[in-house]
Structure 1
């Protein structure tokens, strides 16, 4: 209905105009190029032109858009005589308002509303976005571009079919998994930078563990060796980092196989609860303030490590078929144990991709738990060997409790 479309167009103009008017609320009347009324009228103008385009010709819409661009551009140029702000955000916002009004009239009200809300959010977040840009380091910008390169450019070009023995090597799936792991580390890195920067060991363990719980273990263990006093805090930070591994396994598994994620839910959930409980107990026992040292995580994405991960993942996918051919399920368990020494992400992605097709759900779930047990055991040894006896006793007891809880969770529910 025309009235509905015009109403939506007017409301969207009012929404964007509200943000623009609030931003320039300190300026005197008549000094603003466009305020809440002007943006509301621009939205309504877009709706009217959309209606005319439906009844007459689409050229009407194009001509009106160009005419509005000329008017807004001229008004902006005139305002520069009294204002040193050379930004054209207001002009672009006006053109978008017109476009959203036209979309609403042309039957795309939901799309127009979504675009208008996103526009308002971007306009209102100017200080936050500019602060992020100022804090962005060169290596982080390069990391962002590299992540976009491997995900937006390279991934669509790869063939989505199996190659090699047993058709085990699918370039698209292997690279998609690389993108997934890189993105998880990327998010974890910036979570540490934005939320956890210099906020203490607990925040370090919680957020830096998203990128690498092993890196957090090594860092906090070294701090514990040099500053042995607050071992309870270091143990709590380490356990928080360890606890992130189990939900991450569930999330990654669920992306490929919901039944596998359900099979892992109880044991992984029990291990998560035990790890968080241990962290909470150590935190309560601590009488020292958390240190401001932050895990010195390296840049979250480099091309060379990504390629190494792809090679490792391909080797694991191939070896999983070889070992299963030779030893059946036992070969899969051996592979999981060997992979868990260094990392659980590669084996999680590999087995999750095969679960339910080339591999039984129960076998894949047990193999992933074996990898998690082995990885937890290795990190426990690192904490004991590097952190000294005080941290070692705490990490050793917690690590054994996590592994025993996971085994009990599996045996009781399978």
Structure 2
């Protein structure tokens, strides 16, 4: 008897019971929002549906009679969902949509139960949590979708195609043959970086559209994530029209530099984590110094009683994304050629030149070459810093075109402080 008890405690039965219990709990979790919304199917129904799927799935795994039962259970859930949807047709239009949501949610609960019982625990939990989140955020999602204009909808669709259609079709590795020289490329990683930069732009668009008129911090920093040059151009217009706005215009440019440095740091660290190469932690100190100095100077010098706004044309531009990708690829190829022909100094020159156009492109190029073993840790870090420096210099040169002497002098002075601070921090890292 003791042997039988021990087998029940340590054998596969306990794992099976745990999966059944988890399936029921996830079904209950899915039905919680439906119960709160006072729908015809709530906590008990959803939990029973997940339990039914778990039982039938276990029968499939353990016996020869479960497959037909699992299919029959799925059909019954679909039929029940159809009945609920038909019942909703007698109500108003909004209730019809909610009935359809409940019907689909019941089928999701059945799938969650089958996943968990099959041993796909993480997958089942993920589906349950995401599904519940969609149900809870119903009002916010409807408001978001209804508030999109045609340009925003088109941009979002284009971004989805690039991120979820093009990316999976690209090969993981590709060797570009240029005569006697072969350049190893990672197309998926390259495209993922393009998508990441574009995604930052979309997030920036949403934040600036919401808070752009409420403070210079949002306008400068989040505007700089997408295009620090756009921040400079906007501030030039503000200063030309309102000379008294110079203090917060300078702060906006400083925060745009901070955003640019933060973006480059995120690319340098984020895309080297889990790559098989050491994380580029050397870039943290100098870029962090630039970010910190920019925030401190902006906080101490700006007249925070002023506020500014920035109008962005669209959240995402396919032309801009492809242009960034083209610049990135050209920088990558020519950087590899320059590094092969002229050594590391050749790639440094390429990084400086490309930083005038896009410091993000130069940073991503350095990261890809580092991941491929063509650059060492210090070399990749120096290239990223040179691209960051050239971007700051470009913004200073653009600000120098202003007719407001105080504005252009302050931008030049504080940009020099950023460069010196970042240089000293870099020197400390090297030493």
Note whether the superposition's TM-score is higher than 0.5.
yes
- Residue equivalent to 1:275: 294
Return 221-230 or 179-188, whichever deviates more.
Answer: 179-188
Q: Of the candidates 37, 40, 48, which is equivalent to residue 44 of structure 2?
A: 37
Q: Secondary structure at the match of 1:212?
A: helix
Equivalent residue for 2:305?
Answer: 288
1:51 Cα deviation (Å)?
A: 3.8
Question: How many residue pairs end up in the alignment?
Answer: 402
Q: Deviations over 1:145-184 (max 9, x none)?
A: 2223333333344453122422237472554443333233
CA apart distance, 1:91: 0.7
Q: 2:56·2:67 contact (CA, 8 Å) conserved in 1? A: no
Q: Contact 1:267–1:406 (CA<8 Å) still a contact in 2?
A: yes
Pair 39,363 (structure 1): closer, same or farther in 2 beyond 3 Å: closer
Of 232, 235, 238, the residue aligned with 2:250 is 235
**Paired residues for 1:8-19 under 5 Å:** 8-19=22-33
What are the residue-to-residue correspondences of 1:45-64 with 2, within 5 Å?
45-54=52-61, 55=63, 56-64=65-73
Structure 2 residue matching 1:359: 3-state secondary structure: coil
Pair 1:384-2:394 in alignment: no
Q: Secondary structure at the match of 1:133?
A: helix
Kindly state the Cα deviation for residue 212 of structure 1 after the two structures are TM-superposed.
Answer: 1.0
Residue in structure 1 matched with residue 8 of structure 2 by the alignment? none
Corresponding residue for residue 28 of structure 1: none
Residues in 1 aligned to 2:318 and 2:204: alpha-carbon distance in whole angstroms: 18
What CA deviation, in whole Å up to 9, does each residue of 1:248-292 have, x standing for no partner?
212212214764622212111111111111111124xx162323x
Contact 1:344/1:372, CA 8 A, preserved across alignment: yes
- What is the SS of the residue equivalent to 1:86? helix
1:137 is the counterpart of 2:153 = no
Please list the CA deviations of residues 117-161 of structure 1 after superposition, one character each: whole Å capped at 9, or x if unmatched: 111110000011011101212222222222233333333444531
Query: What corresponds to 2:367 in structure 1?
Result: 352
Q: Which moved more, 1:241-250 or 1:45-54?
A: 45-54
CA 1:125–1:398: 2 relative to 1, 3 Å = same
Structure 1's 167 and 182: CA in aligned 2 closer, same or farther, altered over 3 A? farther
CA distance change for structure 1 residues 110 and 181 in 2, over 3 Å: closer, same or farther? closer
- 1:149 pairs, out of 137, 143, 161, with 161
Shift of 1:14: 1.9
8 Å contact kept, 1:260–1:352: no
Q: Which runs of 5+ in 1 are unaligned?
A: 25-31
Report Cα offsets for 1:331-355 as digits up to 9, x if no partner.
2232222222222111111122222
Preserved CA contact (<8 Å) 2:238 2:245: no
Match of 2:80 in 1: 71
CA contact (8 A) 2:264 2:360 kept: yes
User: Equivalent of 2:347, from 325, 332, 353?
Assistant: 332
SS at match of 1:98: helix
Cα 1:279–1:76, aligned 2, differ >3 Å: closer, same or farther?
same
Supply the distance in 2 between the matched residues of 1:289 and 1:308 (Cα, whole angstroms): 35
Indicate the residue corresponding to 2:134 in structure 1: 122
Relative distance call for 1:330 and 1:52 in structure 2 (3 A) is: closer
| 1:102 is the counterpart of 2:102 | no
SS in 1 for 2:174: coil
Q: In structure 2, what is the Cα distance between the partners aligned to 1:191 and 1:169?
A: 38
Aligned position for 1:216: 231
Aligned residue in 1 for 2:9: none
The RMSD of aligned alpha carbons is 2.4
Partners of 1:272 and 1:395 lie apart in 2 by 15
Long gaps (5+) in structure 2: 1-13
Q: Distance in 1 between matches of 2:356 and 2:31?
A: 57
Q: 1:192 maps to which residue?
A: 208
CA distance in 2 between partners of 1:82 and 1:371 (Å):
61
Quick one: distance in 2 between partners of 1:250 and 1:399?
A: 18
| Alpha-carbon offset, residue 8 of structure 1 | 1.9
Identify if the C-alpha distance between structure 1 residues 282 and 5 changes in structure 2 by more than 3 Å, giving closer, same or farther: same
Normalised by the length of structure 1, the TM-score is 0.88
